[in-house]
């Protein structure tokens, strides 16, 4: 295997904060304005979006005023977006990223990920999934060479997908963004990423939308939260941070923005980490990439 270019990974290591504002399912301009306004006030400098979230244009409209309000410049914040599964493949990827740049009203995007290892309108077991995601990554490498994006990576990639990518790419993917929480620890994948120099980023740290209450009511999580005089949600976020994972808490409630921010100050003991690691549950609450060839 040829030596891979580390410039994407180095950019992320140098520039990306460990806590970002997740914007999944948030398409209200007023809600986005209020939550990002509060986030900037508290010290957040990282926004995670995606083409499929359909809010890039909204972010592009509101960010200039919010940056000015908080005396920030574009280079003070880190923006991640993701190539939609429908935009995978030669030619389509570049066109979609250029549209993201226009919608976000920015000269560059800090990080662009392949959102999903499969391609829309193809069955999960179709061999062309691998072909289209390979073509997508090549186009992202070119866009990075051109300075339109500063780093590249993937999302929802399993070990099998990463092994194929690492055998073909020339720029090491900076990040693999995946579901991860105490009921779905994804430890083998996280360890593989660590071995390969790929940063592991957790989404749905509280579980998917229909699963959140299961984690918030977990007896071990509640016990540890009480010991730290905080909420179960903060402990769930801190669990990821304590392992070196970056996190992307998403909320439409302004008050939760500050609560989530407190996770960075929670240091869990070795005993507490072992207790959380002993939770005997395996509940994936989001889509399953293992079925994609």
Was 228 annotated as part of a binding site?
Answer: no
Per-residue confidence (pLDDT) for residue 281, from 0 to 100 = 81
Q: Give pLDDT tens digits along the chain (293 positions).
A: 569 999 999 999 999 999 999 999 999 999 999 999 999 999 999 999 999 999 999 999 999 999 999 999 999 999 999 999 999 999 999 999 999 999 999 999 999 999 999 999 999 999 999 999 999 999 999 999 999 999 999 999 999 999 999 999 999 999 999 999 999 999 999 999 999 999 999 999 999 888 999 999 999 999 999 999 999 999 999 999 999 999 999 999 999 999 999 999 999 999 999 999 999 887 898 989 999 99
Helix axes 219-227, 270-277, angle to 10 degrees: 160
Per-residue confidence (pLDDT) for residue 265, from 0 to 100 = 97
Per-residue confidence (pLDDT) for residue 282, from 0 to 100 = 79
Per-residue confidence (pLDDT) for residue 161, from 0 to 100 = 98
Count, residues in the chain: 293
Q: What is the rounded distance in angstroms from the CA atom of residue 271 to the CA atom of residue 135?
A: 45
Look up 137 and say whether it is catalytic: no
Tokens encoding 156: 């929802």
178 phi and psi, to 5 degrees?
Answer: -140, 160
What is the β-pairing status of strands 246-247 and 46-48?
unpaired
Give the residue carrying structure tokens 């580390």. Answer: 6
243 in Cβ contact with 184 (< 8 Å): no
Q: Which residues contact 291 (CB under 8 A, 6 or more apart)?
A: 124, 125
Per-residue confidence (pLDDT) for residue 1, from 0 to 100 = 57
Q: Which of 49, 21, 26, 38 is nearest to 106 (CA)?
A: 49
User: What superfamily would CATH give domain 7-211+245-253?
Assistant: NADP-dependent oxidoreductase domain (3.20.20.100)
Q: What is the rounded distance in angstroms from the CA atom of residue 128 to the CA atom of residue 108?
A: 30
Q: What is the rounded distance in angstroms from the CA atom of residue 284 to the CA atom of residue 211?
A: 9
Distances (CA, A) of 53 to 21, 25, 80: 13, 6, 12
| Coil vs helix vs strand at 161 | helix
166 in Cβ contact with 4 (< 8 Å): yes
Q: What is the rounded distance in angstroms from the CA atom of residue 79 to the CA atom of residue 21?
A: 10
Per-residue confidence (pLDDT) for residue 172, from 0 to 100 = 98
Task: Kindly list the domain boundaries of the chain, sorted by start residue.
Answer: 7-211+245-253
What is the β-pairing status of strands 175-179 and 21-22?
unpaired
185 phi and psi, to 5 degrees?
Answer: -75, -25
188 phi and psi, to 5 degrees?
Answer: -65, -45
Q: Which of 11, 24, 44, 53 is catalytic?
A: 53
């Amino acid at each position: 295997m040829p030596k891979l270019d580390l410039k994407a990974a180095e950019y992320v290591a140098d520039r990306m904060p460990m806590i970002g504002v997740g914007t999944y399912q948030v398409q209200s301009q007023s809600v986005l304005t209020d939550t990002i306004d509060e986030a900037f006030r508290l010290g957040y400098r990282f926004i995670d979006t995606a083409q499929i979230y359909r809010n890039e244009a909204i972010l592009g409209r509101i960010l200039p005023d919010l940056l000015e309000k908080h005396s920030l410049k574009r280079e003070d914040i880190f923006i991640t977006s993701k190539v939609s599964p429908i935009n995978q493949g030669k030619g389509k990827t570049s066109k979609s990223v250029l549209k993201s740049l226009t919608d976000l009203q920015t000269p560059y995007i800090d990080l662009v990920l392949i959102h999903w290892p499969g391609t829309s309108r193809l069955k999960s077991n179709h061999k062309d999934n691998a072909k289209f995601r390979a073509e997508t990554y090549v186009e992202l490498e070119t866009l990075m060479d051109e300075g339109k994006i500063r780093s590249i990576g993937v999302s929802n990639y399993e070990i099998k997908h990463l092994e194929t990518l690492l055998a073909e790419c020339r720029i090491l993917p900076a990040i693999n963004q995946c579901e991860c929480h105490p009921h779905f620890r994804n430890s083998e994948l996280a360890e593989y990423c660590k071995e390969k120099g790929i940063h592991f980023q957790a989404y749905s740290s509280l579980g998917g939308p229909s699963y959140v209450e299961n984690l918030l009511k977990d007896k071990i999580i509640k016990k540890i939260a009480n010991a730290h005089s905080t909420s179960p949600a903060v402990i769930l976020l801190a669990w990821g941070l304590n392992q070196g994972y970056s996190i992307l808490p998403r909320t439409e409630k302004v008050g939760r923005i500050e609560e989530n921010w407190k996770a960075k100050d929670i240091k869990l003991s070795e005993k507490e980490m072992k207790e959380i690691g002993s939770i005997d549950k395996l509940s994936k609450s989001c889509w399953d990439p293992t079925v994609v060839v």
